[in-house]
Structure 1
Amino acid sequence: MSEHERRAENGAAETTGSATRPDPDRAPSRFRLDISYDGTEFQGWARQPGFRTVQGVLEESLGKVLREPVQLTVAGRTDAGVHAEGQVAHFDTAAEVDAGKLVHRMAKFLPKDVRITGIRTAPAEFDARFSAVRRHYVYRLTTAPYGADPLTARSVVACRPVDLEAMRTASHALLGLHDFAAFCRRREGATTVRELQRYDWVREGDRLNAYVSADAFCWSMVRSLVGAVLAVGEGRRTPEWVAGLLAERSRSSSVTVAPAHGLSLVAVDYPADSELAARNAQTREVRAVFDLPRLRRGGAGPY
């Protein structure tokens, strides 16, 4: 039995009052989780048989504490190696949960590379995925001649000196509502149209951070955006080349996907509680039937 499994078993055996046994006559309550993890040793967020994933570890641990199966719904299904500082998920349970005690108890036996940083009750209309209006990522680079510092090497990517102004020109051309097919790995039935709301590059000494925000992102989109603009900064491509990628309707083989470990999901924005139901309906509608001309006239934004 691994250290994590022993700690989980011990934690489940404790009776600290963080949760009671589920009551079949009790109406389920919804809880929001705020989550942080180092994605290095995970094969992404989503549960996969035979692989260590963030969802799998969290659901197993929560299930033992709450004494019932737990199914998490998440804001952003991060890829293998990608980190999170502000991931959000929700679950429903008929157990009576003391949120403060549960945060402390989970910290005792979760593995060191994942933490639940906050738990609170949420309205029934709250959906970590469909209620989200904006997701924020940061991609961290260093141009230091010695590469990434050993203490940050798991979350910072070393690169050559770059032309920052050229990169800013290229990234700003991508802002707005576009079909980002050239930057996405297509999934069956999923749209590649997104509204890119922020794409800024900020230098602090040898450190160079890309701040990227959108209503949602398709598979590998953020790392592809970074890889394309980084090629401009290194002089291998022009800003005009990046802008021209928006005209393509399929994944571009000329776009390099930046390494996963430089990327972190830092925050997810949600509307006021009174607007949750409307947001859920809007997002689900757009995912079911996507109409680009309607979006350009001011309709619902894509997931």
Structure 2
Amino acid sequence: MPNYKLTLQYDGTGYKGWQKQPGLPTVQGTLEEALAAVATLDSPIYAAGRTDAGVHARGQVVNFFGTLKPSLERFPAALNAFLTPDIVVRECEEAEEGFNARRSASAREYAYYVFRGGYPSPFRRRYTYHFPGDLSADAMGDALGTVVGAHDFAAFARREEGKSSVREVYEAELLQHDDELCVRIKANAFVWMMMRMLCGSLLEVGRGRWSVEYFVEVLESRDNSRSGPALPPRGLFLEKVYY
């Protein structure tokens, strides 16, 4: 049975996350309903990242085994015709039999966006966290640089019983464009809530409440009661999955 790989984008605002939940709108549930109209599925849908409620994706990757009703070339357009406007499939390709969107991934890249304008923007409110106060981007960048490498990120994560919180960060950078800051991190994987709690802690550094040294102390403590506040999900994007 052929194995198909889909790359999709979505606005997560109206969904209770990726994973299907009875009676609730989810990205997985919506995608499965649309797929049923244009394909015969012989497996579950496997996703590279199980994004939380309100989190967006520019480069989510999923795979499934099944049979397509239209041709491979026409499949994205046919599938999009049955999807809501806030979920769009960009690519469909046949993958090797052993490919799994989650297990085959070598890295994932997430980005968190902070809008620095003096007033909230009705056009950015769904996709950024608004913070109008003063921030030291230099201090935030210095703190962010300390997470590169292998670390236990328990201090910046919600505990999941029996699961390791050790992750390896390959790249971490703070980008500035006009009145917007972006925290971009590429890692082998992410712990639950890691980006939102880490970015909340970076804002504590930027506001001058924490020193870079204290940020490192919190990271090394593995104590999530010392973390900065978890930022809202609306500023977080799954940008890309690497294979």
Structure 2 length as normaliser, TM-score?
0.95
Q: Does 1:154 align with 2:126?
A: yes
Aligned equivalents of 1:254, 1:94: Cα separation in 2: 47
Aligned equivalents of 1:250, 1:51: Cα separation in 2: 33
Q: CA deviation at 1:207?
A: 1.1
Q: CA deviation at 1:174?
A: 1.5
The structure, 1 or 2, with the larger RCO (C-alpha pairs under 8 Å, 6+ apart) is 2
Aligned equivalents of 1:68, 1:75: Cα separation in 2: 18
Aligned equivalents of 2:161, 2:23: Cα separation in 1: 24
Instruction: Tell me which residue corresponds to 2:167.
Output: 194
Aligned equivalents of 1:212, 1:65: Cα separation in 2: 36
Aligned equivalents of 1:51, 1:70: Cα separation in 2: 22
Q: Does 1:108 align with 2:81?
A: yes
Instruction: Tell me which residue corresponds to 1:33.
Output: 6
Deviates more, 1:259-268 or 1:58-67: 58-67
The root-mean-square deviation of aligned C-alpha atoms, in Å, is 1.5
Q: Does 1:48 align with 2:21?
A: yes
Instruction: Tell me which residue corresponds to 1:222.
Output: 195
* CA shift in 2, pair 1:167/1:104, >3 Å: same
Alignment coverage as a number of residue pairs: 242
Letter in 1 for 2:156: F
Aligned equivalents of 2:42, 2:13: Cα separation in 1: 26
Aligned equivalents of 1:42, 1:190: Cα separation in 2: 26
1:3-14 alignment runs, 5 A limit: none
Q: CA deviation at 1:189?
A: 2.2
Q: CA deviation at 1:151?
A: 2.1
Structure 1: state its 5+ residue gaps.
1-27, 271-303
Instruction: Tell me which residue corresponds to 1:168.
Output: 141
The answer to which structure has the higher helix fraction is 1
- Which structure: larger Rg? 1
Instruction: Tell me which residue corresponds to 2:217.
Output: 244
Aligned equivalents of 1:68, 1:194: Cα separation in 2: 33
Structure 2: state its 5+ residue gaps.
none
* CA shift in 2, pair 1:244/1:199, >3 Å: same
Q: Does 1:260 align with 2:233?
A: yes
1:8-87 alignment runs, 5 A limit: 28-68=1-41, 71-87=44-60
Aligned equivalents of 1:249, 1:97: Cα separation in 2: 51
Letter in 2 for 1:156: T
Q: CA deviation at 1:246?
A: 2.4
Q: Does the Cα contact within 8 Å between 1:59 and 1:70 map onto a contact in 2?
A: no
Aligned to 1:100, the other structure's residue is in SS state coil
The answer to which structure has the higher strand fraction is 2
* CA shift in 2, pair 1:169/1:233, >3 Å: same
- Cα deviation, 1:38-68, whole Å, max 9, x if unaligned, reads 0000101011111111011101110232244
Structure 1 length as normaliser, TM-score?
0.76
Q: Does 1:126 align with 2:99?
A: yes
1:134-153 alignment runs, 5 A limit: 134-147=107-120, 149-153=121-125
Aligned to 2:25, the other structure's residue is in SS state coil
